[in-house]
Amino acid sequence: MKILVANLGSTSLKYRLFEFEGTEEKLLTRGGFERVTEYPAAIDACLDELKAGGFIQNQQDLAAVGFKPVVARGVTGCVRMDEKVLQAMEDYSSMAPAHNPPYITGVRIFSQKMPQIPMIGLFETSFYQWAPEAAMRYAVPESWYKEGVRRWGFHGASHKFMAERSAELLARPDIANRVRNLYVTKTPAPVAGANLRVVSCHLGGSSSLTAILNGVGICNSLGMTPQAGLPQNNRVGDLDSFAIPFMMRRQNLSTDEVERQLCKESGLKGLSGGFNDMRDIRAQALGNNPHAQLAIDVFVWQARHWLGAYYLEMNGLDGLVFTAGIAENNPWLREQICRNLDHLGIKIDPIKNNQAIGIEALISTDDSQVKIYVIPTNEELVVAREVKRFLENH
């Protein structure tokens, strides 16, 4: 079974082609196009590349095209991307203005170009379908809540991958299996035995922590939009909502200008004085740039804040996992997040930690109660796996 996973940006199309055979899963090829102005032409070019490489003979060789859409009104999980779903995404376009519009356009064009091929989407909000309401609600009037002002949670594909893999590594095949079938059964299977408590730290271009209880996401530091929790590369993290009317009045800023500054001039870039890549921020901090050091300190503080909250909520922790560009490649940052937590049973091993760069590894000491892992994420593979499960069950 061959599944094409398409990542749609406003001017880019990236793709990966996976093949599943029995228990084997293989990445056959990957590619992409930047500065796309004509989406239909880019889709043709993608299919041409797949044919030229001998990966498919024609589009009928594809069992499905998979997508990773962000958010839609009243829709989540792994679903067929029909017109009803696309309209539900349109309804929330202003919640994810950089993401929803290109996805809606892209999926429509894919459907026109490939009418026989199922278009399947795995929503980023899917992993939080069973989160307790108290964890997801903001204290706003009911009318705001009805419009969608609540915590949704994102990075669902990545955190689900972490849930499944950490359960395997922590010798809980029952939980790994529960995770695998979450979107198929729609109701998480009952759990026998002790709770499995994991915190997943996805730290990259955008960052979030998720509490995972028995394989199910029960809270995520991203909120109603992907502009909450930790400082993101250019986007603000948590912010007191009253800062917005205050600054609008103070500097006579328009709504668009506030949105621009919070999306493009904030986060690590705002704090560090212009650097949005952790490699540059680290180099600047080592060169005694105090703003860059502050950006790192705020990032670490925020990560520990959520880690502490989730530790408390789950009454302890069995696994702490690190993933995505920043967390996979920067041992010094993992060490800072885990510093001084031995009284909570979290002990990082400096040697193992320093050796784990971009690879899966156990990085806690032998006597650490909490097992700490680096687990490289693979969001496209998660999408492909879920699409495969969807096809097998529908």
Binding site for ligand ADP (CB under 6 A): 204-206, 277-279, 324-326, 329-330
Burial grade of 131 (CB within 10 A; 0-12, 13-18, 19 or more)? buried
> What's 190's DSSP letter?
P
Q: How far is the CB of 365 from ligand ADP (least distance, A)?
A: 24
Q: How far is the CB of 335 from ligand ADP (least distance, A)?
A: 14
Residue nearest ligand ADP, Cβ-based: 325
Q: How far is the CB of 333 from ligand ADP (least distance, A)?
A: 9
Give the containing element (helix H, strand E) for 255. helix 255-264
Chain mean position to CA 260: 22
Q: How far is the CB of 263 from ligand ADP (least distance, A)?
A: 15
Q: How far is the CB of 280 from ligand ADP (least distance, A)?
A: 7
Please identify, using beta-carbon distances, which residue of 129 and 200 lies nearer to ligand ADP.
200
Please identify, using beta-carbon distances, which residue of 79 and 295 lies nearer to ligand ADP.
295
Tell me how far apart the alpha carbons of residues 207 and 358 are, in angstroms, rounded to a whole number: 17
Strand partners, 6: 15
Please identify, using beta-carbon distances, which residue of 99 and 180 lies nearer to ligand ADP.
99
Q: How far is the CB of 231 from ligand ADP (least distance, A)?
A: 11
Chain mean position to CA 28: 23
Please identify, using beta-carbon distances, which residue of 153 and 204 lies nearer to ligand ADP.
204
Please identify, using beta-carbon distances, which residue of 188 and 205 lies nearer to ligand ADP.
205
Please identify, using beta-carbon distances, which residue of 126 and 207 lies nearer to ligand ADP.
207
Q: How far is the CB of 140 from ligand ADP (least distance, A)?
A: 29
Helix, strand, coil percentages in the chain from 3-state DSSP, rounded to 5: 45, 20, 35
Tell me how far apart the alpha carbons of residues 43 and 47 are, in angstroms, rounded to a whole number: 6
Beta-carbon neighbour count of residue 36 at 10 Å? 19
Local structure of 109: helix, strand or coil: helix
Tokens standing for 109? 């064009």
Burial grade of 175 (CB within 10 A; 0-12, 13-18, 19 or more)? buried
Which residues, including other chains, have CB under 8 Å from residue 351's CB and lie 6 or more apart? none
Q: How far is the CB of 23 from ligand ADP (least distance, A)?
A: 28
- Of residues 393, 379, 377, the one with CA closest to residue 80: 393
Please identify, using beta-carbon distances, which residue of 66 and 118 lies nearer to ligand ADP.
66
Q: How far is the CB of 226 from ligand ADP (least distance, A)?
A: 10
Residue 54 contacts residue 105 (beta carbons within 8 Å): no
Tell me how far apart the alpha carbons of residues 91 and 88 are, in angstroms, rounded to a whole number: 5
Please identify, using beta-carbon distances, which residue of 7 and 129 lies nearer to ligand ADP.
7
Please identify, using beta-carbon distances, which residue of 177 and 289 lies nearer to ligand ADP.
289
Tell me how far apart the alpha carbons of residues 158 and 326 are, in angstroms, rounded to a whole number: 14
Tell me how far apart the alpha carbons of residues 336 and 200 are, in angstroms, rounded to a whole number: 16
